[in-house]
A and B are shown apart, each in its own frame.
Chain A
Amino acid sequence: MPRVRARSIGADDVTHDVLIAPGFTKITRASAEEISVRRDEPAWLRERRLDAWRLYQSLDFPHESDEEWRRTDVRSMIFDAVRPLSASAPIASPAQLPAALRSAWDESEALAGRVVQQDSDVVYTQLADDLRARGVILTDLHKAAKEHPELVRRYLSSAVPAGEWKYVALNAALWSGGCFLFVPKDVEVALPLQLLTVVGAEGLAVFPRTIIVAEAGSRVAFIDETRSADGETKTFVSGVTEIYAGDGARVEYYSVNRWGHNVYNFNTARAIVGRDAQLVTMAAGIGGKMTKMRIDTSMPEPGASADLLGVTFGDGDQHFDYNTLQDHIGAHTKSDLQFKSAMTDSSSIVWYGITRIEPTASASEANQTSRNLLLSEHAKAAPIPILEIEAYDVLKCSHGATAGPVDENELFYLQARAIPRAVAERMLVEGFLADVVNRIPNAGLRERVMRAVLAKAGATPELGEDDVFEDDVFSDGGFR
């Protein structure tokens, strides 16, 4: 079979069934068909996959002159060896996950429901009975397409169209497993729901797909956590997340990337935030060899608000590249982006973030802050804030971007209080990132993210101790 390099393929070329994906010798149109057949999918869904495949074939790779892509050149990445599919049998309990992935499971965590995807398949789904009774749907996307076709047809590829870019089209053609969450009007899901995606097989291409629909007045927090062991062969991930927050709804979406060091991770997440609705997103970048993640928030209706958080700890030769868009369309919309990173060794991070205030978005407020701590002379950070203001009466529009080593005055201050330099540095890194992590409303997740970050920093997490301690200090014997 010919190896097709990453180049433009004209639409005329795309008639033959065996045409393969550029850079992927084992992924063909037949792969999309195989997924569809194996899942016994309805005709409309099969058609969508094949349409997406055609889009994939016809789309160019982003050009290096494209500002969002010039720091992460995907055209040079060849994923010859990756296979598009694997088969995993359902499991009765997460205890049956392969040993290397079992640690990803935290039994003690207070959750209202979980979905576990292993490689290409969802192998475990659980949802609290009372939520099910109130109409909440949490299931894999194949099942949802059969049982709730009207919902899936409406929301699949609506926020993130298949033709958006090459790997999004590839996902639309090849997604497998996937997660569908639907929260009916006014239903409040008090505890978070979790999607845990674990990849045990090496050399796989994984295409996670998540749809979150929160109807008007509902509330839900969703944790999207990914895990794999550090493997030898390249693993390719192209994920898409679509979030629909209805009027007055509150949706929290936490992406926790803990992929192994052999994973090339492409992700597109987009939220459409309704009137007076609130969105909180967090991108926690911990694992992966390379991560290119897009997080877009569209606020087409008045009164919507979005808090966009990011925390990344890079080491080794990890590369993280985040693109964000805060799109203000409705009046009185508000967004606040707070991205922080600590980068060591020869790791690198790019953040390219656009705030767009459209002419209709009068009296809107927006902020972008990207702060990057460089812990080694070889670590790099490129924070790039962009403001596109088209409205006349913006209330506030601010941005700030910094990259540099630990502050000398802060170090001196801690050292002047007897704290040795190494401990002081660790405290400063921890504090720097905790400032963002502490905004996660859920205590369990907050601590887990912080522990994962600190473990990379080589620190012994003392977080829990401090929490206990604080309570301890003031719960008795104080002057309350």
Chain B
Amino acid sequence: MVSTAVVDTVTGPPLQELWKTRHDKTRYQWSSLGLLTPTFALLIFLFLVPMGFAIYLGLTNLTLIGPTAVHSSFTGTANLIRLKGDTTFWSSLWVTGIFIVGSIVGVVVLGYTLASLLMRATPWMRVVVGGIVVISWMMPAVTAGMTWYASTTGNGTFGTLFGHPNANLLDAQPLLVVTLASIWSMTGFSMLVMGAALRNIPSEAIEAAIVENASTWQRFRMIVLPLLRPTMTAIVLLTGLLALANFALIYIMTQGGPGNSTNILPLYSYQQAFTFNNLAYGALIGNVMVLIATVFGVFYVRITTRRI
């Protein structure tokens, strides 16, 4: 080991050459390109190229089967006009909005409540309740959807728990139930992040407020909330993004039904593309999702970089 190092030093570039290098200009190492190529090649070919392709695809008459599956052509704004008059699309957008906002509110409120209560609970309670919430977050979406379906259908756990064993909650309040399931499946993340942020609040600030006779509500509003705001904003944006793409949970529970009452955009896009074979129209609906996700994503970048 040592000997090779010595040999390398001898056979390295002569000293004069090292002196010649200019230090007043930024120098780039060629190996950086090699290091970055795999990641950015993957991101370009499987993220940016499909994104650009989807914009074109949304303006064609491509279908999954039939003659236009092979020879599709550019149809300009025909799909856009169709989208404008598509009442199912507008209702789907509305349902998506309710689903996202409901998920965000539930995840933030429950995440904060659990995090702040667990901080003051006995270690035993912390392990059990914290563990249950984290497990519900870790559970893969397919399993979560299935066990929620079982719990809210006739004879399910929730009906039995509230004394109406035969009630089919999922049929009675489909959007509410899938939103609750979505909250259930994301609260663990919010609880962990919020807990970490709460532990970072200096205890002196709280103690000073107690000395000043500040009420619990005042302490929350004047100290905890301002210090927690960046964390909460990040959770709001991430929850929104995850809810927007939460295909599996709803697909397993309701498939968008009954009627179109839980048909959020990713489901409607899938339905148009693969059930009704309108691949191009499905891609256009997907583009609307990308647009919404981009708005959330830009805010997410801003909040993340501000904290660094």
Partners in one complex: no
Q: Which residues of A contact B (CB under 8 A)?
A: none
Q: Which residues of B contact A (CB under 8 A)?
A: none
